[in-house]
Structure 1
Amino acid sequence: MTAAEAATPPPPRVRAADLLAAGTLGLRTRRLRAVLSGLGVAIGIAAVVAVAGVTTSSQAALLAQIDRLGTNLLTVSSGTGLSGAERELPAESVRMIRRVDGVRSVSPTAQLTAVNVYRNQMVPSGQTGGLAVRAADVSLPATLDGRVSQGRFLDAATAAYPVTVLGHEAATTLGISRVDPGTRVWLGGHWFTVAGILDPFPYAPEIDSSALIGFPVAGSMFGYDGNASRLYVRAGQERVIEVSELLRATADPENPDSVDVSRPSDALTARVAVAQSSAALFLGLGAVALLVGGIGIGNIMVISVLERRGEIGLRRALGATRGHVAGQFLAESLILGALGGAGGVLIGCAVTAALARGRGWAIQIPAGALWGGVLVAVIVGGIAGLYPAVRAARLPPAEALRTG
């Protein structure tokens, strides 16, 4: 080591606390600008967290619903006619399906096409509200694993009298929220007493929008001929595929191709896949918002460098190195990104909680979305602030003091 090298003092070091104080100086003195520049990052992170949280919560709710209702429910129908009404199945279809090995229960229903339900007799006949009237077997709730929210379902006694049970949507459309002894609806030109209101049936939306009456009263008052138009079949869990392959030929041996057999749980499973594909689209939009936020941070930092040239020149004249100046502005950009990321995570969690509670879901937000959101925001802030930091470090002290 030469004498000149020994006489040269080592470059000063900046403590982390000092760097933090210097990095927040611009944010503290220009608070509105800091909030607006961090808002873009916050929106992007909030979109990502909210999409991840809402998607996870909805998927968990759907999967829980599938687990509760089971995947062993099958529906048998013969399609619809030109008028949109369900076609009737052969009269022997119910009896024959009940004899299929692996079938636990069968519940027939029949849509009464010429019968409508109204709140009272003053409602114009054309204003049906999209509601249907169905004859239903007393075993329907047990087969569908459904529940009655108010009142009770049809039984062997009430099925023979003008008594109806309303699906959840039908009750809402008719403006009936509770069941009292005097609650009635105008059904097929007769007053029917409302015995109960059903909970929603996710596996049978057609039941939700129907007024259900017994088979005996359907025959005595509306001339029902005894042929069902839709059957609900509960099979053994381990024999669902085997039973589904036999139902067409069993329901209508002469025209098996005209019979439709479906598994309602497949529709809920498909909704999970749709939710995943929709989530990918919204995540892309969130990434675009995050990119715009990063560009905003970079723009604000460049402006900050130009406005603070005098400060940069003074620090350089007092002994600060280029690395110190670059570190100050890079730290400011990182802090801005971290604050935007934290704010975005909070906003995303709040949006997820609001939507989940509104729809009755359990709130589930992936842990990776929480810490990952902040991490991505910090990275975006660091990348956005890299060029302004280098530009600030390259300013000559004399020029910076002269133009500051």
Structure 2
Amino acid sequence: MTPARGGGVRPTRLTPGDVLRLGVLGLRVRPLRAALSALGISIGIATMLAVIGIPASSQAALMRELSALGTNVLQVTVPPNEDPPVLLPKESVGMAQRIGPVTVASAVANTHLVARRSDRTDPRDGLGLSVLASRIDLLPAVNAGMAQGNWFTSATAHFPTVVLGSVAATRLGFTEMPLDGRGHQVMIGDQWFTVIGILATTPLSPEIDRAVLVGWEAAEKVLRFDGHPTVIYLQVHEPAIEAVRAVLPATVYPERPGDVLVTRPSEALAAKRATANSFSALFLGLAATALLVGGIGVANTMVISVLERRSEIGLRRALGANRGQIRVQFLTESVVLAGLGGVLGTVLGLAATAAWAVWHGWPVVVPVAATATGLGGAGLVGMLAGLYPSMRAARLTPVEALATV
């Protein structure tokens, strides 16, 4: 206490350190109750993070699978069997690549030739396979990979070499690449080509599975290919896929945009967007419920604490503490209690999310926004939960409080 004008006393102003020490006083006196109360809100926060983090990890795995189905892939073609045939311009791939949201653009072209296992087979029997000239950047455009051997390089694309699709390799009888590195050979027209690789199955582009792929430059030099692409494959930033589809015909063939066919975006894209929206709504509902349950637990604890500590409140009021100091003491205790529960709950929730995701082989998604919301929400819930008990404690007069002693 400090002397006041007129001979009275006035309460000493509390520093932030004093407020914190008073706020944790009740927690130190009743550690078991404080631990159980903190555990209550920590379970709420951990539940919130778990029900957000685990579905988010599952969603990430689902989105990865849906993306593998080609949610961002478009194909540009021309009508088949036209007379005279419609030919895409030679520079159409480069023109498509210059569209801002396009990340990859590549192409193949049908050479209309037949690939044979040897020169002794029927020259007209192509086994239902296509001989396609391929650009060197085709693999990322169609999400393809190599099963065996190697893809074209800037060097091998100029020489008579081929890469076989998975179905083409089976029909030609080449299921494995030779260990001696010499390579199988196939005949295209009257020219022998060396097999340098076999593609893995490409579910997005089944026509590639049934293709014998020749380097673009080798096709022009050896097979007298005219350089006009038949199919252009593009990968696009998903939010802009509809806008890119709308401008593609006029971009790749300005003279005849009406003759350009562009595939519709994959149905998997609509499923992916619907899945994201449904998960977001679910997260908000679960998070709100978890925080509400935790707040009720803290409020209940603080009300009981005020009832049990009436004598302490009366003694402090009799010694000169004002209503504001009593209010700040219990409000600080409530915030500290909720904050401890929030920190513990955050650790538990993140650990549970990581463990569950790793066990299922999902990518671990740490919900940063949810983590910040959980910690901030714990403090806010503690403040709201302690508001009524602190005001109730502050309204007690010293006589009323000490009457219970």
Query: TM-score higher than 0.5 here?
Result: yes
| 1:355-395 residue CA offsets vs partner (Å, 9 max, x unmatched) | 776767586654x5554442332121111101111111222
- Length, aligned pairs only: 304
SS of the counterpart of 2:388? Answer: helix
Report the CA distance shift for 1:20/1:243 in structure 2 as closer, same or farther (over 3 A).
closer
- So what's the TM-score if we normalise by structure 1? 0.55
Q: Name the residue aligned to 1:340.
A: 341
Instruction: Report deviation, 1:292.
Output: 1.6
Report the CA distance shift for 1:344/1:273 in structure 2 as closer, same or farther (over 3 A).
farther
Q: 2:85, 2:341 → 1: CA distance? A: 65
Q: Name the residue aligned to 1:114.
A: none
Q: 2:30, 2:148 → 1: CA distance? A: 60
> CA contact under 8 A between 1:149 and 1:196: conserved in structure 2?
yes
Report the CA distance shift for 1:288/1:135 in structure 2 as closer, same or farther (over 3 A).
farther
| 1:301-336 residue CA offsets vs partner (Å, 9 max, x unmatched) | 001111222222232333333322222111100111
Equivalent residue letter for 1:35: A
Q: 2:204, 2:397 → 1: CA distance? A: 74
Q: Name the residue aligned to 1:6.
A: 6
Equivalent residue letter for 2:311: G
Q: Name the residue aligned to 2:388.
A: 387
Q: 2:73, 2:14 → 1: CA distance? A: 68
Equivalent residue letter for 1:234: Y
1:316 aligns with 2:317: yes
Structure with larger Rg: 2
1:144 aligns with 2:142: yes
- So what's the TM-score if we normalise by structure 2? 0.55
Q: Name the residue aligned to 1:262.
A: 264
1:155 aligns with 2:164: yes
Instruction: Report deviation, 1:270.
Output: 5.6
> CA contact under 8 A between 2:331 and 2:383: conserved in structure 1?
yes
Q: Name the residue aligned to 1:176.
A: none
Q: Name the residue aligned to 2:221.
A: none
| 1:47-101 residue CA offsets vs partner (Å, 9 max, x unmatched) | 66563897599779969x979x89453399xxxxxxxxxxxxx9859x968x344
Instruction: Report deviation, 1:35.
Output: 3.5
Report the CA distance shift for 1:299/1:9 in structure 2 as closer, same or farther (over 3 A).
same
Quote the RMSD (CA, aligned, Å).
Answer: 5.3
Q: 1:338, 1:198 → 2: CA distance? A: 53
Q: Which runs of 5+ in 2 are unaligned?
A: 94-105, 111-127, 152-162, 180-196, 213-229, 237-242, 253-258
1:303 aligns with 2:312: no
Identity %: 38
Instruction: Report deviation, 1:300.
Output: 0.8
Q: 1:275, 1:314 → 2: CA distance? A: 57
Q: 1:136, 1:352 → 2: CA distance? A: 48
Report the CA distance shift for 1:62/1:26 in structure 2 as closer, same or farther (over 3 A).
same
SS of the counterpart of 1:380? Answer: helix
1:278 aligns with 2:289: no
Q: 2:29, 2:108 → 1: CA distance? A: 74
Q: Name the residue aligned to 1:192.
A: none
> CA contact under 8 A between 1:61 and 1:361: conserved in structure 2?
no
> CA contact under 8 A between 1:74 and 1:263: conserved in structure 2?
no
Report the CA distance shift for 1:327/1:48 in structure 2 as closer, same or farther (over 3 A).
same
Q: Which runs of 5+ in 1 are unaligned?
A: 77-89, 109-133, 166-178, 182-194, 216-230, 247-252, 254-258
Report the CA distance shift for 1:373/1:316 in structure 2 as closer, same or farther (over 3 A).
same
